[in-house]
Amino acid sequence: MYVDTDISEIVRVVNLYLEGLYERKFDLLEEAFWNEAKNIGVTNESKFWLKSMGFWKEKCKTPPIQYSKDERVFSLENVDVWHNSAVVKVKMIIKHPERLYECTDYLSLLKSDGQWKIYCKLWSARDIPLNN
């Protein structure tokens, strides 16, 4: 069982993650993720096992890549909530001149001490070449 405010809070946490990701703002990522969160993903058939906060702390030290709103599209595909747990599917497409980068995140959230946090991020990504 959940209430509508839970959905709003979950979406707020996911938006913190997305803004922190794209703008490389570690403070937003830190607010969205549990401090021991896991970030596990596959891209181009290679596996990466990363501890989210350590990885992002380093990544956020570099300037963000500037994309227009048309070049960076994301959508919340699904929000599934039960009691104090939730899974959110986020689809992202980033348009480069020669390729598309497509990524799907599955974010597992838990509500603890009245706060929703991302505890695990599973993701899969691929590059799609464009025929020019």
Q: For residue 1, what pLDDT is reported? A: 54
Q: For residue 44, what pLDDT is reported? A: 74
**Helix H or strand E encompassing 96:** none
**Each residue of 81-106: pLDDT tens digit?**
999 999 999 999 988 877 888 999 99
Give me the number of domains the chain comprises: 1
Distances (CA, A) of 83 to 3, 12, 79: 9, 18, 13
Name the residue with tokens 């929000």.
79
Helices (H) and strands (E) in the chain, counts: 3, 6
Distance in angstroms (rounded) separating the CA atoms of residues 18 and 78: 15
Q: For residue 59, what pLDDT is reported? A: 86
| Closest of 36, 16, 13, 14 to residue 25, by C-alpha | 16
For residue 65, the domain's CATH number is 3.10.450.50
**Each residue of 4-36: pLDDT tens digit?**
789 999 999 999 999 999 899 999 999 999 998
**Helix H or strand E encompassing 101:** strand 99-112
The parent domain of residue 105 ranges over 4-129
pTM: 0.87
Residues of the chain with pLDDT > 90, as a percent, come to 54
Distance in angstroms (rounded) separating the CA atoms of residues 131 and 9: 41
**Each residue of 42-85: pLDDT tens digit?**
877 676 767 668 888 888 999 888 877 778 888 999 999 999 99
Name the residue with tokens 């596959």.
42
Q: For residue 129, what pLDDT is reported? A: 82
